[in-house]
Amino acid sequence: MNLRVKRISMLLMIAVAAIFQSCSSEDDGLVLENENQLENIQERIEQYQGSIENIEAPEAMEQYATENTYASNAVFSLASLQVQALAYSSIFLSIPNDAEQQSSIGKSGQNTRTWIWSYGGVTLYYTVTSDAAFDYFTYDIEEGGIRRNFYEGRISRDGTFFEVRFNGEDGEFLSMTYNKTGSIINFTIEDGNNDKIELVFNEIDQSGSIKAYEAGVLTESFVWSSNGTGVYTNHGTGETFSWP
């Protein structure tokens, strides 16, 4: 089963992790005006990260995966989605250690603030706008006189809803959406071609489902129960395969 968005999306996620693996917003010597605003968002990002880290296939399904191809594909797809879901949290507010804060600009009449850093000929703009329900953020990169939006998103005040969009060149993008209601996690990855993967996961009993769409059309899915049994469906052919 090919449960993934297009290769460009995966390459983007890998590139993001590689670019920022040595960057950190901690212990960088910066004194940020209204830094608590960013730290508060970071705390909610970490709350999201902890929720994603707790996603695991039922133990019985992992055992079935040693002998059943479809169970194996389900476990692998779940783990792959988890890796992609965690990739963003590792780069939130990733400011290089040697960056210098140029300024902090607050817009009068709006709960908006932009932090500006520079390093090695690159200028970074981080803007946060807040309202009663959400914090909205954008992260722009300027180099060689060209400024582009690298990512943008929003996170709810209680941390149960979160979405981010990575913007590539020529209109390409990858969006990730997380929503948690009670013990149920809904996580979606989608690209500009309307290729999409949806995960629904119950934190309490580890049951769940993964659905893959191409150009908005459902093509494949996994559904599994808390006891580890499950069904794979090829929605193009109508074939179903179960495990164990």
pTM to 2 decimal places: 0.81
pLDDT digits (tens, 9 = 90+) for 24-49: 444 343 334 455 677 788 889 889 99
Q: According to the 3-state scheme, what is the secondary structure of the chain? A: CCCCCCHHHHHHHHHHHHHHCCCCCCCCCCCCCCHHHHHHHHHHHHHHHHHHHCCCCCHHHHHHCCCCHHHHHHHHHHHHHHHHHHHHHHCCCCCCCCCEEEEEEECCCCCEEEEEEEECCEEEEEEEEECCCEEEEEEEEEECCEEEEEEEEEEECCCCEEEEEEECCCCCEEEEEEEEECCEEEEEEEECCCCEEEEEEECCCCCEEEEEEECCEEEEEEEECCCCCEEEEECCCCEEEEEC
What integer best gives the mean pLDDT of the chain?
A: 81
Per domain, the residue ranges of the chain are 7-21+33-243
The pLDDT of residue 102 is 53
The pLDDT of residue 13 is 46
The closest of 66, 64, 6, 60 to 193, measured between CA atoms, is 6
The architecture (CATH level 2) of 7-21+33-243 comes to: Alpha-Beta Complex (3.90)
The pLDDT of residue 23 is 41
Question: Which token pair is 186?
Answer: 């809904």
Question: Torsions phi, psi of 130, nearest 5?
Answer: -120, 145
Question: d(Cα 114, Cα 147) in Å, to the nearest integer?
Answer: 15
